[in-house]
Amino acid sequence: MDHRIITIVGPTASGKTSVALDVAETVGGEIVSADSRQLYRHMDIGTAKPTVEERARARHHIIDILEPEERYDASRYADDAEDIIATLIEQGVEPLVVGGTGLYVRSLFEGLFKGPGRDDAIRRELEDRVVAVGAPVLHAELVEVDPVTAERIHENDSTRIVRALEVFTLTGIPLSEWQQGPSRQPRYRPAYYALTLDREALHNRISTRVDRMMESGLVEEIRDLLVSRRLRPGFAAADAVGYREIIEALADGGSPERLSAAAEDIKTNTRRYARRQMTWFRSLDEVTWLDVGTLGVAATAGTIVSDWRTATAQGR
């Protein structure tokens, strides 16, 4: 718990990668990703993965480690991230945790409840039902057995709906009650730096990013994944914003008009996702908020490095 880890969080399109690269180069660090979508191989455009050039500036960890059909959770992330952080510290390399998946960050630094393990048979049955009748139907069932958890989960978030119903089916105890139990003990302390932007500026960045993804071949990337069967509806990875909308558009025939509408849906859903991310980060303790839109990338990175060095020297 003595080592204070630079942790850069913020909503999607807020500039985390650019700021983190500047910080990593200054302190001699490597980046431990906390992004639940960049885990997956072959899914590059829609997840806004760091480019080859960006990865050359600083080594990245926990990126491209899974096939799209594989499952991953916050508990496993915490274990993997802790092991990587420990190795980097032993090597004299400064670890930086960077990403927008609040649940991963919280699991790493605050711990999560020790609930029941997965049951493949129950989960497979629930996932098949998602495909057959849709996530909102299962969400309505979750409302009946665990309204506290259901209130926190969007009706189309099939991954979390399935997990909550799996826990209840397996144990008869709602997930919300399990989460009141004891959690794992974290090994490291975070130095949280949260990036923020004016709402309009963030929305403009999101729109620009989605337009670039479409121009860069997002539809072709997803079509190739579907044809190769590396990605299929019902996979956790297929629920990612940007992928779900295009998959649905292609299933509807994939006309230019339908794909254009899907791009607009991606922008809307990404803005909603950004709001949920901000809710996560506002709930964290001892966060230094930095307006990257006003400061710029270089000044934001410089502020992080200066603050972190001062706090470390003072033993905070």
Residue 1: what pLDDT? 55
Residue 114: what pLDDT? 59
Give every CB contact of residue 246 below 8 A, 6+ residues apart in sequence.
46, 218, 219, 222, 259, 262, 266
CA 55-99-113 angle, to 5 degrees, is 135
**Strands 287-291, 94-99: parallel, antiparallel or unpaired by DSSP?**
unpaired
Residue 74: name the closest of 163, 155, 136 by CA: 163
Neighbours of 59 (CB within 10 A): 13
Q: Which amino acid is at 11?
A: P
Residue 48: name the closest of 279, 302, 241, 178 by CA: 241
Predicted TM-score (pTM) of the model is: 0.81
d(CA 216, CA 175): 40
Q: For each successive 10 residues of the chain (316 residues), what is the average pLDDT?
A: 89 96 97 96 96 96 95 89 97 97 89 71 90 94 94 89 91 82 80 96 97 98 96 88 96 96 96 88 89 97 96 82
Residue 49: what pLDDT? 96
Q: Which pair of structure tokens corresponds to residue 229? A: 């069967």
Exposure letters 90-100 (e unless 16+ CB within 10 A, then b) = eeebbbbbbbb
Residue 181: what pLDDT? 66
Residue 183: what pLDDT? 64
The label of the residue with tokens 């974290």 reads 186
Neighbours of 211 (CB within 10 A): 13
CB 115 within 8 A of CB 166: no
Residue 224: name the closest of 41, 70, 66, 38 by CA: 41
d(CA 218, CA 242): 8
Q: Strand order in 4-9's β-sheet? A: 60-61, 29-33, 94-99, 4-9, 189-196, 287-291
Domains of the chain listed by start with CATH number = 4-112+185-214+274-313 (3.40.50.300), 120-178 (1.10.20.140)
* Average pLDDT of every residue of the chain: 92
d(CA 168, CA 290): 40
Residue 233: what pLDDT? 87
Q: Which amino acid is at 288?
A: T
DSSP H helices, the chain, are: 16-27, 52-57, 74-90, 102-110, 120-133, 135-145, 147-152, 158-171, 175-178, 199-216, 218-227, 243-251, 256-282, 292-295, 297-313
